[in-house]
């Protein structure tokens, strides 16, 4: 494996689309139309469920072209194999899920809401490489905190899309708040 990490930009639009069109949800067809737009979509779950794959794909294209979707793609040679969505917290809508974190919109917080790793590349440290890229990038940004929301009592890989709890502990995050279904973890950038 020759793993590299690249920050998303409009130059990587085709790679992003290739990843979501062909790789991201090969083992979880139920979510294949998401394109990592769930937390960028402002309306309720009923409205989200009425959206088509094409609606979300178009939304992702527009957000990438407008530099509003931030994150990192992992590659094996030239093939995108993983994605991490990390953006200013105020760029996300948490009202549909993780409702308790919704009110704390400090401009100094960057939220990590999604890790997607091709099922063929899981358990090879790809998420760790992505998280290291997020940490390194945002340490130079002037932001104060990274915030993540791993779910508790995860049974299958697809439920770990916020990133596994141990990934964050291993990389210096601490528990900020704990709720019934998830944990709010923080990392001090300064």
The CATH number of the domain where 161 resides is what? 3.40.630.30
Q: Taking 60 as the threshold, does the pLDDT of residue 102 lie above it?
A: no
pTM listed for this prediction: 0.91
What's the whole-number mean pLDDT along residues 152-161? 80
Beta bridge partners of 146: 110, 187
Q: In this structure, what DSSP letter does residue 124 have?
A: S
Cα–Cα distance measured from residue 114 to residue 55, given in angstroms and rounded to the nearest whole number: 19
Would you put residue 174 in left (φ > 0), alpha (ψ -120 to 50) or beta? beta
Domain of 72? Answer: 3-188
What's the whole-number mean pLDDT along residues 105-123? 88
Number of domains in the chain: 1
């Amino acid at each position: 494996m020759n793993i590299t990490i690249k920050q998303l930009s409009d130059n990587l639009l085709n790679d992003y689309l290739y990843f979501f069109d062909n790789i991201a949800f090969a083992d979880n067809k139920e979510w294949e139309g998401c394109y990592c737009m769930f937390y960028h979509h402002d309306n309720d779950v009923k409205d989200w469920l009425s959206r088509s794959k094409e609606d979300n794909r178009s939304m992702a294209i527009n957000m990438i072209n407008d530099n509003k979707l931030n994150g990192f793609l992992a590659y094996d040679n030239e093939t995108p194999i993983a994605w991490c969505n990390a953006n200013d917290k105020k760029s996300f809508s948490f009202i549909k899920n993780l409702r308790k974190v919704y009110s704390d919109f400090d401009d100094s917080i960057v939220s990590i809401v999604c890790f997607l790793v091709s099922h063929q590349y899981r358990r090879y440290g790809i998420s760790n490489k992505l998280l290291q890229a997020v940490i390194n990038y945002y340490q130079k940004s002037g932001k104060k905190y990274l915030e993540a929301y791993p779910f508790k009592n995860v049974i299958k890989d697809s439920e770990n899309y916020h990133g596994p709890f141990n990934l964050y502990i291993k990389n210096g995050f601490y528990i900020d708040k704990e709720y019934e279904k998830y944990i709010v973890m923080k990392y001090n950038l300064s």
